[in-house]
Chain A
Amino acid sequence: MKKDIFQISPGFEDIMPAEYRDLIDNGPFEKNVGVSDLGSFKELLEEHPLCAGCGLALSLRLILASLPNPEDTIIVGSTGCSALAFPQVALHNIHSLFGNQNAVASGLKRALTLRFPDKVKDVVVIAGDGATADIGLDMVLQSWFRQENITTIMLDNEAYANTGGQESGMSPMGTVLNMAPKGKKFPKVSVPELARESGCAYVATVTPAQPKKLGKAVVRGILAARELGPSYIQVFAPCPTNYKFKPNETISKIKLREKEGTYETKEYITAEAQELFARLEEGKK
C-alpha cells in the first residue's frame, strides 16, 4: 500500500481522531523501524483491552513493531485473548472462526499472489496456543505440508485464557487449571518439532524478555515465508490472570522458566533459509 491511500483528505484533518492522525504522521509505514525504535514512532496497536501485565499484549506490540513491511502485511487471527486486541491494530486483519486461521490464510495468500504478482504481500497468522496447537492444529499442519508461503506465530500463554483459564495442549504437565482439576496429564505439545518435521523453512521459540531476539525471529520468519515456504514462531507470553502471579512479574516468570529449562528458546533454520538470511542480512550491512 502506498501511503497516499490512507492519507487524510485535506480539510478533514480536524475531524479525524488524534491517534489516527498520529498514525499517518508518525506510524511505522515505509520507515523500516524495529523493536529498538519503539518510542520513536506511533505503534500499530492503539492501546489494548487486555489484562495488566499480559505477556500476550507485550508480545503483540513487539511483533507488530518488528514487521518488515507493515504497509503490505495482512494478519489472520483467531478466537482468543488476541482477538480482542486485533480490532485496534492498524493493519487489515481477519478474525474468521476459532481454529481456521491457517486455512483462511492459505486462501488469502494465494488470492493476494494472484492479484499482486509483482508485489510482496506478507500474510502473518497470529493466534493463541489453543487455536494453534488444539482446535486448529490440523489446519496449521496442513498449511505447512502444502508449503503455503505464510508465517504462523503462536502466542503461547499455556492456557485458554479468554474463556477463563482452561488447560490447553501447551499447558505444562501437572498444571492444575480448569478442565484439568487433577493436573494436566500429558506434556506440552512440541509444536516447534512438528513445524520442523512438517516442512517449515524457519522455526523459532522466543520470548518478550528478549525483544531484539524476538524481533529478529519475526523478520526472519516473514522473509522465509516470502521466499521459501512456511515458517513458525512460538512466543512465550505468560498469563498473570490465570496463572495467578502479579502483573509486574511477567518477565521474571519467563526468565525463571528459562533458567529452570522448562521453556527453551531456540531456532531451527534449514540450509536454504540459512543461505537466504546470509544473503539478505549481508546485503543490509
Chain B
Amino acid sequence: MIEQRVVEPPQLFEAEKETQFITGSEAVREAIRRANVEMAISYPITPQSESMHLVGDLFAEGYIKEYFRGENEFAVMSSVAGAAMGGVRVFTATGGPGTLRAFEAFSTWAGARLPIVCAFMTRGINSPLTIQPDTIEMAFMLDTGIIMLHAETAQDLHDMILRSFMIAEQTEVHIPVGVFVDGFFVTHTRDKVDIAPADMKLPPYDPYSSPVPVMDMENVPFRQMRDPFVMKSNYVSYSAHASWQQEVMAAAERARKYIHQYLGDLIETEYPDADILLIASGTAVSQSREAMAMARSEGFSVGLVKIKSIRPFPEKEIRELVRNAKAVIVPEFNRVGWLAREIKSVAEDTTKIVAGPRVYGGMTMPPNMIMDEIRRCSI
C-alpha cells in the first residue's frame, strides 16, 4: 500500500494525471483507491463482479478498512444502508438482475438520506436468461429518488465514481448517487484513463454533516417522536410523509450545482446547432459519435448530445436543443426506450423525436443503424 495523504477535492481532481491503459473495472478500483472509502460490501453478479474483486484487493492492501461478501443483493444494499446510517463512507456495485433483486432497498436509501455511492454495471434482465449488455434496469431506477449518472467511457466511470462522493455528501444533497455504466462494453474492455497520483485521497466523510441523525448514540435527538405518524390517519401524518418526499426530490435538484462543480454540465454537445441531433447516454453516445462522423462526411447536418446526468434530468437544456432541431434521434441499448420517453416528457414538439434505433438482448449497435435513421429524417 502506498502511503496516502488527504488533499482537498480540487487538488485531487486537478492533479497532474498519468494515462493508464486499463479496463473499466480497473478504473473503478483506481477511483475507490483515491476515494477514502471506509467500507465496501460485495456480491457476485456478471459483469459487475470483477470491479468488486478489485475493490476487495484494495481492502487486502489496506486502502479500505472493512469489506465482506453479503448473501444477496437485497441484503447487501441493506447492509450498505446500515453502514451509512452508522456514519461511514461506503461503496458497492451490482447490475441487471442484482439491481432488481435489491430494488426495494434503493427506494429507501434516498428517503433515509444516505450518501451511498453505488455503481451499476448494467446488463439484461431475465427472462429468458441473459448476461448480455442492456440498460433496461435504468428504466426501473428512474423514480427511486437516487441521483443517476451514466458513464460513456472508463474515464467517465472513474471520474463519476470518485467525484460522486463529493456530490452525495453535501449536507443539502445527502442522497445516494448511482453511477451507471454499460456492462461489458466498458467494464471488460481496455481504454486510456487519466488518473491522479495514488498517494492522494479525498478528505474523510464527516458523518455529522448529515441532515438526519447518525445512528450512533452520539448525537441528538435520541428519541424521534412522541406520536408516530405511521399510527395516524390524519392530515398532519400525510403531510409529513409528503413533505419528506418533496424534500428528497428537492435534494436531487440541489445536486445540480455540485454536478456542475465536479463533473461539468449535465450534458455535453458537439454541433448543437445542427438540423438533426443524436441524443444519447452511455455507450450509445460512442456509437452516435461514429454515426455523426459518417453523416457529416456525407454532408448531413448532424450534431450530438451526450446526457451525463439522468437524475436530475437536464430538462431545460434538452427542451432548448429539441426546440432548435429539425429532428432528434435517440439510440438506446434497451427494449423500452426510457431515454426517449424522458426526452419526450420535456420536449414541446414530440413529433420530431425518433425513439430509436434500439438494440437489446446483448446486440451491438452498428453506427449504420443510426445512419439509416439520419437518412430517413433527412428525406
Is A106 part of the binding interface, using a Cβ–Cβ cutoff of 8 Å?
yes
Q: How far is the CA of A97 from the CA of B102 in the complex (A)?
A: 12
* Closest-CB distance, B175 to chain A (whole angstroms): 16
Contact residues, B5-59 vs A (CB, 8 A): 38-39, 41
A97/B78 in contact, CB under 8 A: yes
Distance to closest chain B CB from A31 (angstroms)? 15
Interface assignment of B112: CB less than 8 Å from any CB of chain A:
yes
CB distance from B146 to the nearest CB of A (A): 16
CB-defined interface of B220-231 with A at 8 Å, one 1/0 digit per residue? 111111101011
| Cβ of A146 under 8 Å from chain B | yes
Name which of A5, A83, A109, A111 has the most chain B CB atoms within 10 A of its CB. A111
B295 at the interface (CB under 8 A from A): no
A23 at the B interface (CB under 8 A): yes
What is the distance, in angstroms, from B204's C-beta to the closest C-beta of chain A? 11
- In this complex, what residue of A is CB-closest to B71? A142
> What are the interface flags for B93-127 relative to A under an 8 Å C-beta threshold, 1 for contact and 0 otherwise?
00000000000110010001000000000000000
Task: Point out the residue from B72, B82, B88 that lies within 8 Å of A115, measured CB to CB.
Answer: B88
* A111: nearest chain-B partner, CB-CB: B86
Q: Could you tell me if A88 and B82 are in contact, using CB atoms closer than 8 angstroms? A: no
- In angstroms, Cα B71 to Cα A142, docked, is 7
- Known interface pairs A100-B74, A108-B86, A111-B82; A92-B217 also in contact (CB < 8 Å): yes
- On whether the beta carbons of A112 and B86 are closer than 8 Å, the reply is yes
For B41, give the chain A residue with the smallest CB separation.
A107
Alpha-carbon distance A100/B73, docked complex (angstroms): 11
State the CA gap A180–B72 with chains docked (Å). 30
Q: List 25 A-B contacts (CB under 8 A).
A: A1-B218, A5-B218, A6-B222, A20-B223, A46-B226, A49-B228, A83-B230, A84-B230, A88-B225, A88-B226, A88-B228, A96-B81, A96-B82, A96-B108, A103-B70, A103-B78, A104-B79, A104-B81, A107-B90, A109-B86, A111-B38, A112-B216, A114-B38, A114-B65, A142-B70
Contact B220 A74 (CB under 8 A): no
Interface residues in chain B, defined as those with a beta carbon under 8 Å from any beta carbon in chain A: 38-39, 41, 65-66, 68, 70-72, 74-76, 78-88, 90, 104-105, 108, 112, 207, 213, 215-226, 228, 230-231
CA distance A46 to B82 in the complex (A): 25
B71/A138 in contact, CB under 8 A: yes
- The CA of A103 and the CA of B65, in the complex, are separated in Å by 19
- Does A116 touch B at the CB level, under 8 Å? yes
Given A49-B228, A84-B231, A88-B228, decide whether A94 and B216 contact each other with a Cβ distance below 8 A: no
Q: How far is the CB of A90 from chain B (nearest CB, A)?
A: 4
| A108-B215, A112-B86 known; A139+B78 contact, CB < 8 A | yes
Q: Is the CB of A107 within 8 A of B80?
A: yes
Chain A residues with Cβ under 8 A from B216's Cβ? 74, 92, 112, 115-116, 121
- Report whether B82 and A105 are in contact in the complex, using a CB–CB cutoff of 8 Å: yes
Bound form: Cα–Cα A100–B78 in Å? 6
Q: Which of A59-111 contact B (CB under 8 A)?
A: 71-74, 76, 83-84, 87-94, 96-97, 100, 103-111
The 9 closest A-B pairs by CB, nearest first: A111-B86, A107-B82, A107-B79, A107-B83, A103-B78, A104-B82, A100-B78, A108-B82, A87-B228
Known: A94-B85, A110-B39. 4 other contacts (CB 8 A): A104-B78, A107-B80, A111-B88, A115-B86
- From B39, B79, B217, give the contact of A72 (CB < 8 A): B217
User: Chain A residues near B231 (CB, 8 Å)?
Assistant: 49, 84
Contact B218 A23 (CB under 8 A): no
Q: Which residues of B contact A139 (CB under 8 A)?
A: 71, 75, 78
Q: Which residue of A lies closest to B112 (CB)?
A: A96
Q: Nearest Cβ in chain B — how far from A48, in angstroms? A: 10
A49 to B66, CA, bound (A): 39
A107 and B215 CA atoms in complex are apart in Å by 12
Q: How many residues of A contact B (CB 8 A)?
A: 46
Chain A residues contacting B221 (CB-CB under 8 Å) are 6
Distance between Cα atoms of A93 and B82 in the complex (Å): 11
Which residues of chain A have C-beta atoms less than 8 A from B219's C-beta? 5
Cα–Cα distance between A130 and B39 once the two chains are bound (Å): 30
Query: Contact at B75–A108, with CB atoms within 8 Å?
Result: no
For A5, A105, A114, the residue with the greatest tally of chain B CB atoms inside 10 Å of its CB is A114
What is the CA–CA distance of A94 and B114 in the complex, to the nearest angstrom? 13
**Is A283 at the interface (CB under 8 A from chain B)?**
no
Is there a chain B Cβ closer than 8 Å to A11's Cβ? no
For window 166-217 of A, CB contacts with B under 8 Å fall at none
Identity of the chain B residue whose Cβ is nearest the Cβ of A72 in the assembled complex: B217
Q: From residue A268, how far is it (CB to closest CB) to chain B in Å?
A: 24
Which residues of B lie under 8 Å from residue A88 when comparing CB positions?
223, 225-226, 228
Contact status of A110 and B66, CB under 8 A, knowing A6-B222, A103-B79, A139-B75: yes
Q: Which residues of A contact B72 (CB under 8 A)?
A: 138
Q: Give the Cβ gap from A215 to chain B, nearest Cβ, in Å.
A: 21
Interface flag for A10 (CB, 8 Å): no
Chain B CB within 8 A of A17 CB: yes
B111 CB to closest chain A CB (Å) equals 10
Q: Which among B66, B75, B86, B108 is the interface contact of A103 at CB below 8 angstroms?
A: B75
Give the interface centre of A20, A83, A84, A104 by most chain B CB atoms within 10 Å: A104
In the bound assembly, the distance between CA atoms of A138 and B230 in angstroms comes to 27
**Complex CA–CA separation, A100 to B70 (angstroms):** 12
Partner of A90, one of B68, B71, B218, B222: B222
Residues of B within 8 A of A112 (CB): 86-87, 216
Our pick among A104, A116, A146 for the contact of B68 (Cβ within 8 Å) is A146
Complex Cα gap A93–B112 (Å): 13
A residues less than 8 Å from B84 (CB atoms):
107, 111
Q: Which residues of B contact A20 (CB under 8 A)?
A: 223
A94 lies within 8 A of B82 (CB):
yes
For B67, the closest partner residue in chain A by CB is A110
Instruction: Given A17-B226, A111-B39, A121-B216, check contact A97 B104 (CB 8 Å).
Output: yes
Query: Could you tell me which residues of chain A, from 1 to 26, have a CB within 8 Å of some CB in chain B?
Result: 1, 5-6, 17, 19-20, 23
Closest to A17 in B: B226
